[in-house]
Structure formats: structure tokens, C-alpha cells
Amino acid sequence: MSVDGGTEGLFERVYQAVGRVPQGRVTSYAAIAALVTGHRGAARMVGWALHGLPSSREDEVPWWRVINSQGRITISRHPGAAEEQQARLEVEGVRVDRDFRVDLHVYGCGPEDLSPS
């Protein structure tokens, strides 16, 4: 639960954490959850927050840098979403294989790398 007790505040904290993922790197839903809530098990909530990202903030919050903990782009119900995420990552120099996988040992960063300065 967020400091203000509402999902809006919690989602905003997710957006701020995602905003700290450097260009050319990726992180997992679980890593963002650990950073924001202290619990990696809240990964699904991170997905909900990113799914609810207002279109006006899509370029401000780098949602495409968040993948699942197995290093894979999560296939969405939205046609073309995985391909768009792949394309955005590749523009940043992240290699994505034909199965939508990213090598987390090369490109990944965890909650310890994303803490506010």
C-alpha cells in the first residue's frame, strides 16, 4: 500500500521507479515491486500500474524496459505490444531474441541499482 493509502500514489511510485531504469538496460516487474513495496511478490501490481499508464506519459515512463523475471517480454493481449517493446529495446541497444528473451546477465538491473540517489 502506498504512503497515501491509494493506488494512484502507489502507481506513481511505480512510474518513478521505472523512470530510473537506464537506457539500454531492463529490469523485472518483481524488481520494481521489491523497490516500491518491499515485496517481489507484488510484481502483478507493477503490471497493472504499467497497463494503466496514461498515454500522455508513455514516452516519459520507459515501460518497455520492464520484462518478466525470466528475461522475457510478457506477451500482452494487445496485438503488436510485444513487437513494439522489442523494437524500443533494440533501438536502445538491447538484444532481444526471436523468443522475446533478453539476457538479464548482460542487460538486467535489480532493485539495488534503481534506488533513488
The pLDDT value recorded for residue 19 is 96
DSSP output for 5-49? SSHHHHHHHHHHHHHTSPTT-BEEHHHHHHHHHS-GGGHHHHHHH
The pLDDT value recorded for residue 23 is 96
Q: pLDDT tens digits for the chain (117 residues)?
A: 334 456 679 999 999 999 999 999 999 999 999 999 999 999 999 999 999 899 999 889 999 999 999 999 987 777 888 999 999 999 999 999 999 999 999 999 988 888 886
CA-CA distance, 8 to 93, in Å (whole number)?
32
Which one-letter amino acid corresponds to residue 31? A
Q: CB-based burial of residue 85 (10 Å sphere; 0-12 exposed, 13-18 middle, 19+ buried)?
A: buried
Sorted by where each starts, the structural domains of the chain and their CATH numbers stand as 7-107 (1.10.10.10)
